[in-house]
Amino acid sequence: MPPSTPDPTLVTPQVLRNWRLPEPSGGKNARGSILVIGGSAETLGAVLLAAEAAMRAGAGKLQVATVASRAALAAQTLPEALVRALPETTGGAISAEAADEVRDLAENAGAVLIGPGMADTEETQAFGARLLPHLRGPVVLDALGLSCVTADTACLHHLEGRVVLTPNPTEIAYALHVEDDEIEADPAGAAAELARRARAVVGLGGATSWIATPDDRLWQDESGNAGLGVSGSGDVRAGITGGLLARGAEPAQAAVWAAYLHGRAGERLSSSIGPLGFLARELPGEIPGALAEITS
- Identify whether 2 is part of a domain: no
> Does residue 1 fall inside a structural domain?
no
Give the pLDDT score at 146. 98
Specify the pLDDT at position 30: 59
Please report, for the domain that includes residue 166, its CATH number: 3.40.1190.20
Please give the full DSSP string across 179-247, using - where no structure is assigned: -HHHHHH-HHHHHHHHHHHHTSEEEE-SSSEEEE-TTS-EEEE----GGG-STTHHHHHHHHHHHHHHT
The CA R_g of the chain, rounded to the nearest whole Å, is: 17
Kindly state whether residue 4 falls inside one of the protein's structural domains.
Answer: no
Residue 102, domain member (yes or no): yes
β partners of residue 129: none
> For residue 27, what pLDDT is reported?
58
The reply to whether 175 falls in a domain is yes
Domains of the chain: total: 1
Residue-number span of the structural domain to which 99 is assigned: 9-19+29-295
Sheet holding 81-86, edge to edge: 9-10, 218-221, 209-212, 201-204, 163-166, 139-142, 111-114, 33-37, 61-67, 81-86
Average pLDDT, the chain: 95
Residue 159: its pLDDT value, please? 97
Residue 235: its pLDDT value, please? Answer: 98
How far CA 227 is from CA of 34, 64, 218, 222, 276, in Å, comes to: 27, 28, 25, 14, 5
Identify whether 91 is part of a domain.
yes
Range list of β-strands (E), the chain: 9-10, 33-37, 61-67, 81-86, 111-114, 139-142, 163-166, 201-204, 209-212, 218-221
Dihedral angle at the C-alpha atoms of 15, 222, 35, 146, nearest 10 degrees?
120
Which pLDDT does position 29 carry in this prediction? 59
Whole-number Cα distances in Å, 191 to 121, 164, 183: 22, 12, 9
Residue numbers of the chain with a pLDDT score lower than 70: 1-3, 25-30
Q: pLDDT tens digit string along 103-130?
A: 999 999 999 999 999 999 999 999 999 9
In the chain, % of residues over pLDDT 90:
94
Asked whether residue 249 is assigned to any structural domain, the reply reads yes
pTM for the full predicted model: 0.96
